[in-house]
Chain A
Amino acid sequence: MTGISLILSESVAMPRSLNAIVSALCTTLALQARPPEGAIPRCYNPVTRFVLGQFSNTPLHMRAPLTLAIYLFGYSSVLFYGKPFTLLCQRRREAWVARWKAASLSPFRDFIRYFEGLSLFLLYSENDD
């Protein structure tokens, strides 16, 4: 993972609040795909780093609406659970992700798919080594 860490140190700086939402989302997706046996394993951090790196690489015309969608995803949970996504427990985070994944509007589903695809690709690629 040194290569990916290195690239991320060169990547675009992003607001802390945005990083926190993406990080919480990636960890939720990774935990769902591969539940840990004990405490959260460290290997989930590279997943977040990889996804953030890819996000900063995304073309501007895709990144701008994606940024809005991240904030919408992160804060609209307040309406349902009284807390932003980052402060929810894992069970409620999973429920919130499931709600977006099953949304009738395709941009909501595509939003989760974008992060799920990147998270799982890295998570399972790590197993290669």
Chain B
Amino acid sequence: MTEFVPHIVIGSGPGGATTAYHLSRNGREVLVLEEGESVSVEPFTPEEMLRTYRSGGITATVGKPLVQYVEGCTVGGGSEINSGLYHRTPEEILQFWKREFGLVQTDWEPVFRQIEKDLSVSLMAHTPPKASLKLKEGAEALGWSAQEIPRWHKYGNTGTGERQTMSKTYLKWALESGRCRLESKRRVVSIGRHGSHWRVLSVCGKEWETDHLFLCCGAIYTPFLLQRSGLNKGVGRTLSLHPTVKLTALFDEEVNDDTMGVCVHQVKEFAPQMSFGCSISKPGHLALAGLDQPDLLRRVDFQWKQMAVYYVNVLGTSHGRVRTVPASPDPVVSYRVTDRELGELAVGLKRLARLLFAAGAQRLYPSITGQNPLKGPSGVESLPEILPAERSRLMTVHLFGSCAAGERDICPVDSFGNLKGYPGLHIHDAAVLCSAPGVNPQGTVMALAYRSTLDFLERTA
């Protein structure tokens, strides 16, 4: 039997939860379908990987070098697994999107301010981890700009508090409104037009019909679902990402411990072209970095508290593709990392190395197979001018732009998230970002989803 719901949102991540919340608080009846389940696990552990990451976190683009990427697959989506760092979209990026893609601009100030209020975006209430402060120390020594990045995090009196993920904010409030329902463990396999409605089919065979369908499955699964459903007009050909390379630092003092958590400093001297930050640096993560560096691996057991993993990410300028494969329930994602990107990563790696030595690092281990550890500032010059594609280990946690929004013909989606040529079908997730924003994209995703939902409510009042 097919159930009719006026509004269906597929995906409960930042885009989906924001949409569901604003629809329900404006009196609309909403059903949210989520492929993952609601689980409570310790963050940044193997168990979290298995239970809340898509394909257990074992996902990579096709191409040389391959780029490992991760996506959330749980109630709350990526907001449940990321570090919760918040940025507004940089003004120059918004202007670039207006110029190149015809993205209609708006007064973004109240949009961002509302999100920041809703999610308690704030600076850390206690001293940031030492590994994080090392970035600040190194940047100050070189006269570069480094800043503490606020997080969507509600700090209690003890200073620890709780990350304001979607399952604790927008999605929760939408469900509490009584007009929104969530069905988890519902993987949607296809969508299609049926008379004047959109029909949604899940893997378990359950069907729904709706007047308005909001796709919020992320930059990879949104175009994949459209392609599988035969609605592939220009979608999935412009995937963007932030190529990232890591560098592990060994200090002569302790910078890491069991309670380190998320590092909040980023170096923005060269933004938006490139940024430096510090990753989760538990022993398991350090061991992964040790795959390319036997000397590092040997030291993890007894020196891990003196180590932290840092990263350089750059604005991706290439385009990837999302494709279907016959008989496979998963897409193939390709991304050709260009020489320009490899060159910028190499420049970034050298700059980061100089910064970390200025902050007191004793040894640095780049994620390049066969590259010797750097034992002092003079070793920085031994780093390659362009990262070698064969030996470099790249990754990303930021994917977007596979269905770019704007008024130009190259954009399959208009400025307000409506898929062109398909009335009633909307895209409200990272897929609609026009290009790499150069910052953690969740704030941008929520801002675009918020604005598009308000526009939709106005048009359909």
| Chain A residue, CB-CB nearest to B292 | A113
Cα(A57)–Cα(B45), bound, Å: 16
> Considering residues B55, B56, B283, B288, which has the most beta carbons from chain A within 10 angstroms of its beta carbon?
B56
Contact of B288 among A3, A62, A120 (CB under 8 A): A120
A50 CA to B46 CA, complexed, in Å: 8
Query: How big is the A interface, by class?
Result: 20 to 34
Please measure, in the bound complex, the distance between the C-alpha atom of A33 and the C-alpha atom of B286, giving whole angstroms. 13
A113's closest neighbor in chain B, by CB?
Answer: B291
Q: Are B328 and A61 in contact (CB under 8 A)?
A: yes
B388 to chain A: closest CB distance in Å? 12
**Residue in A59, A113, A117, A125 whose beta carbon sits within 8 Å of that of B59 in the complex:** A59
A124 and B284: CB pair below 8 A?
yes
A62 to B284 CA separation, bound complex (whole angstroms): 24
Task: Collect the chain B residues with CB atoms within 8 Å of residue A124's CB.
Answer: 282-284, 286-287, 300
For residue B390, CB closer than 8 A to chain A, the reply is yes
Say if the beta carbon of B258 comes within 8 Å of chain A.
Answer: yes
Q: Are B328 and A3 in contact (CB under 8 A)?
A: no
Contacts of B287 in A (CB 8 A): 33, 120-121, 123-124
Our pick among B59, B60, B282 for the contact of A128 (Cβ within 8 Å) is B282
Known: A3-B41, A59-B55. A120 touches B46 (CB 8 A): no
**Are B291's CB and A125's CB within 8 A?**
no
B50 close to A53 (CB less than 8 A): yes
Tell yes or no: B236 within 8 A of A by CB: no
Complex partner residue of B51 from A3, A117, A123, A128, CB under 8 angstroms: A3
Asked if residues B284 and A7 are in contact (CB atoms below 8 Å), the reply is no
- Judge whether B47 is part of the interface by a CB distance below 8 angstroms: yes
Tell me whether B301 is interfacial, beta carbon within 8 Å: yes
Kindly list chain A residues whose C-beta atoms are within 8 Å of the C-beta of B47: 3-4, 7
Report whether over half of chain A's contact residues are helix, strand or loop; otherwise say mixed: helix
Contact with B along A34-76 (1 / 0, CB 8 A): 1000000000000000100110011111100000000000000
Contact A60 to B258, CB < 8 A, known contacts A4-B50, A121-B288: no
Complexed CA–CA distance, A58 and B49 (Å): 12
Q: Provided the pairs A61-B328, A117-B288, A120-B288 are in contact, do residues A127 and B50 lie with their beta carbons within 8 angstroms?
A: no
Asked whether B156 is an interface residue with its Cβ less than 8 Å from the other chain, the reply is no
Within the assembled complex, what's the spacing in Å between the Cα atoms of A84 and B287?
Answer: 29
Interface presence of A106 (CB below 8 A): yes
A-chain residues with CB within 8 Å of residue B291 when the two chains form the complex = 113, 116-117, 120
> Is B390 within 8 A of A60, CB to CB?
no
How long is the Cα–Cα vector from A4 to B284 in the complex, in angstroms? 16
* Residue in B closest to A7 when the chains form the complex, CB atoms: B50
Residue A97 at the chain B interface, CB threshold 8 Å: no
Given known pairs A60-B328, A61-B330, the reply for A125 and B51 (CB within 8 Å) is no
Q: Is B50 touching A54 in the complex (CB atoms < 8 A)? A: yes
Question: A114 to chain B: which residues have CB within 8 Å?
Answer: 58
CA distance A117 to B258 in the complex (A): 21
Q: Report the minimal beta-carbon distance from B387 to chain A, rounded to whole angstroms.
A: 16
Which residue of chain B has its CB nearest to the CB of A114?
Answer: B58
A116 / chain B contacts, CB cutoff of 8 Å? 291
Q: How far is the CB of A33 from chain B (nearest CB, A)?
A: 7
Q: What is the CA–CA distance of A32 and B288 in the complex, to the nearest angstrom?
A: 15
Please indicate which of the listed interface residues A7, A106, A125, A127 has the most CB atoms of chain B within 10 Å of its own CB. Answer: A125
> Is the Cβ of A125 less than 8 Å from the Cβ of B58?
no
Closest to A57 in B: B56
**Which of chain A's residues has its CB closest to B284's CB?**
A125
Cβ of B143 within 8 Å of any chain A Cβ, yes or no, is no
Which residue of B is nearest A4, CB measured? B47
Q: Which residue of A lies closest to B51 (CB)?
A: A7
CB-defined contacts of A87 to chain B, threshold 8 Å: none
Q: Are A125 and B283 in contact (CB under 8 A)?
A: yes
Q: Which residues of A contact B (CB under 8 A)?
A: 3-4, 7, 33-34, 50, 53-54, 57-62, 106, 113-114, 116-118, 120-125, 127-128
A-B contact pairs, 13 of them (CB 8 A): A3-B51, A4-B47, A60-B330, A61-B330, A113-B291, A121-B46, A122-B46, A123-B287, A124-B286, A124-B300, A125-B282, A125-B284, A127-B283
| Further 18 A-B residue pairs, CB within 8 A, beyond A54-B58, A60-B328, A118-B58 | A33-B287, A33-B297, A34-B301, A50-B46, A50-B50, A54-B49, A54-B57, A57-B58, A58-B58, A60-B330, A61-B330, A62-B58, A113-B291, A120-B287, A120-B291, A122-B46, A123-B287, A128-B45
Closest 10 CB pairs of A and B: A125-B284, A57-B56, A59-B330, A124-B287, A3-B47, A124-B283, A120-B287, A124-B284, A54-B56, A121-B284
